[in-house]
Amino acid sequence: MLYHFFLNPLRDVTPLEPPVLKPSIPIIGHLIGLFRHHSHYLRILRDKVPSKPIVTLNLGTMKAYAVFDPQLQQYISRNKAAGSDQADAAAVLFGFDKKRVIDVIEGRDGVHAKSSSKQYMDAARAMLSGDSLRQMHERAMVYISGRLKALDKVNQADSLYDWLQDLMSVATSEAFFGEKNPYRQEGLVDDQWNFEGNMEFLALPNTVASIIARSAYHARARIHAALGRYYSAHDEEHGAAEVVRIRAVLLRQLGIADEDFAKHEMTIMHGGTTNTIPAAFWVITNIFLRPQLAEELRVEAQAFCESSLDKETGKPKPNKNKPVVSIPLHRIPYACPLLNSCFRETMRLSSQWFGWRTLTQDLELPSSITESRPYILRKGAQVLMPAGVTHRLPSVWGSNDPDVFNPRRFMNDDENNRKVSKEQKGNYLPWGGGSHLCPGRNFATGEILGLVVALVLGFHVDGLREENVRMRWARIWEAIAKPEPGADGGRVVIRRREGWEDLEWDFVY
Ligand code: HEM
């Protein structure tokens, strides 16, 4: 009774809202389902009601609409009524003071203008393209090529994922933080991943979290301290990426203390690595698990890095000093159709973003979009638009193999008169959509594809086995799924290709 009157979020579902999908265990069933199955739960629900484009769910104290129809998803994500209200959760998880940071940025403190928040995000967007993007890529790739150059002829990695995680985390931190990169402090990159792997426990009150998730709690405190020292000393002025420098200027102009915004700026490194590294892992494993595909990609990459290769032998030209292969990063999107298709196909399968939004006002879905009757979605409710469902819909991706990696799915096949359909393009949303479209997509894509081209050209990855590469369904805060524990690629040997042993990389922009 008490539940019904005070907590039941469905007590006021009106006939105009989408139909309620009841859980098998009354009241708490959907919450249990989400905790057990994570992003896969939405797929389970969708399979229960394949003909329903949208349903209403009871999530404990919240009412949510799960949207399965791609057209509806696009309509909602482009609508202003669907906001992204993650500030409260972010403040708790990342350990910053919401009142002293977010409320000031968003002008909710009664002192500052609302426009600061837009300025802050616009700054990030502008700086993740053009010259500043090029500069970030350059720094990341200089670090990556240095590490590849230092590899022996035969190198053993106990876990392919850990190897990549270390390589790309440091590369990304170099790209962001410049000469005084705080992540060079010993153990800080590990702290970042310790924090990230146990984030959910940090949602508990501090006293409880410091006991239950002691290690992650202290890891986060060490990152806060290192970033606090960095910003207090204005270290970002020594060659940090524009996105880091301008954000610091804006935050200081708003009067936020260095130590407060330093905690918030921990989100930079998190955003820059948390999805890029698993995405790189899936691209690399999808390729190196298929030797024939790796070989085809080698041929494609050799043609595109042609200028530095001997046309006769296909090997780097003998050079008095050292053989160098130049990889023109900006040409990869045009010159490597197979690689781009592999990348997009990998993103299709590994992107399991929940697409979480909060409705700031009522939203009508006209019947022209629902293809049935109109619906009204109510202000205050949550909306879930799971990419793990739309990216695998048999009606869009083909009934035979929507869950299977097809390296050529995103290539037009003129011989068989098959093109990537408009519907497929519209249903491919690994970077989100609408006003929250990922501003880091170009940086992530360039970093991943640059590394992959260098790896296929210069190395073999031996010892990869299907059973050591398994995907775990994504958690609520993950856009890209991570590997299952114990299935992170396992022990592999990264071996230089014969004839390419002394190769060095030069990434060109
Ligand atoms: C493969 C790598 C990546 C994937 C799949 C990815 C995916 C996404 C998705 C789906 C969103 C939308 C979230 C939402 O609407 O709530 C998003 C937002 C965002 N991403 Fe990425 N991302 C990646 C890499 C990056 C990188 C490298 C950066 C930073 C350099 C970054 C920075 C951001 C930021 C700041 C937002 C928030 C945008 C906003 O709310 O307006 N991401 N990302």
- Report yes or no on 64 lying in a domain: no
Same domain, 253 and 280: no
Same domain, 302 and 260: no
Q: Is the CB of residue 459 less than 8 Å from the CB of residue 497?
A: yes
Same domain, 250 and 300: no
Structural domains of the chain, count: 2
Query: Would you put residue 253 in left (φ > 0), alpha (ψ -120 to 50) or beta?
Result: alpha
Same domain, 224 and 328: no
Same domain, 184 and 324: no
Structural domain ending residue among the three candidates 239, 273, 307: 273
- Report yes or no on 31 lying in a domain: no
Structural domain ending residue among the three candidates 230, 252, 273: 273
Query: How far apart (Å, rounded) are the C-alpha atoms in residues 383 and 380?
Result: 10
Q: Is the CB of residue 393 less than 8 Å from the CB of residue 402?
A: yes
- Report yes or no on 294 lying in a domain: yes
- Report yes or no on 74 lying in a domain: no
- Report yes or no on 103 lying in a domain: yes
Query: How far apart (Å, rounded) are the C-alpha atoms in residues 212 and 261?
Result: 26
Residue nearest to ligand 1 atom 31, measured at CA: 440
Same domain, 347 and 284: yes
- Report yes or no on 77 lying in a domain: no
Query: How far apart (Å, rounded) are the C-alpha atoms in residues 190 and 264?
Result: 19
Same domain, 323 and 193: no
Same domain, 106 and 229: yes
Helix (H, G, I), strand (E, B), or coil: what is residue 59?
A: strand
CA of 431 to the centre of ligand 1 (A): 6
Q: Is the CB of residue 18 less than 8 Å from the CB of residue 65?
A: yes
Q: Is the CB of residue 443 less than 8 Å from the CB of residue 133?
A: yes
Query: How far apart (Å, rounded) are the C-alpha atoms in residues 271 and 251?
Result: 18
Structural domain ending residue among the three candidates 244, 273, 302: 273
For each of the chain's 509 residues, which pLDDT tens digit applies? 444 444 566 667 888 999 999 998 888 899 999 999 999 999 999 999 998 999 999 988 889 999 998 889 889 988 889 887 777 788 899 999 888 888 888 877 777 776 677 777 777 776 678 888 999 999 999 999 999 999 999 999 999 999 999 999 999 999 999 999 999 999 999 999 999 999 989 988 889 999 999 999 999 999 999 999 999 999 999 999 999 998 899 899 989 999 898 999 999 999 999 999 999 999 999 999 999 999 999 999 988 886 666 767 767 676 656 677 888 888 898 899 999 999 999 999 999 998 889 999 999 998 887 777 889 999 999 999 999 999 999 989 988 889 999 999 999 877 777 789 988 998 899 998 877 889 999 999 999 999 999 999 999 999 999 999 999 999 988 999 999 999 999 999 999 998 888 778 888 87
Range of the domain at 492: 276-352+391-508
Q: What's the Cα-to-Cα distance from 227 to each of 35, 124, 169, rounded to whole Å?
A: 33, 19, 16
Residue nearest to ligand 1 atom 14, measured at CA: 436
Helix (H, G, I), strand (E, B), or coil: what is residue 376?
A: strand
193-197's contacts with Cβ under 8 Å and 24+ in sequence apart are 193/165, 193/169, 194/219, 195/219, 195/220, 195/223, 196/270, 196/274
336 is annotated as contributing to ligand binding: no
Residues with a CB atom less than 6 Å from ligand 1: 84, 121, 124, 128, 271-272, 275-276, 279, 351, 353, 430-432, 436, 438-440, 443-444, 479-480
Same domain, 321 and 440: yes
Q: Is the CB of residue 268 less than 8 Å from the CB of residue 437?
A: no
Q: Which atom number of ligand 1 is nearest to the Cα of residue 279? A: 1
CA of 480 to the centre of ligand 1 (A): 10
Same domain, 269 and 284: no
- Report yes or no on 258 lying in a domain: yes
- Report yes or no on 397 lying in a domain: yes
Q: Which atom number of ligand 1 is nearest to the Cα of residue 437? A: 12
Same domain, 495 and 437: yes
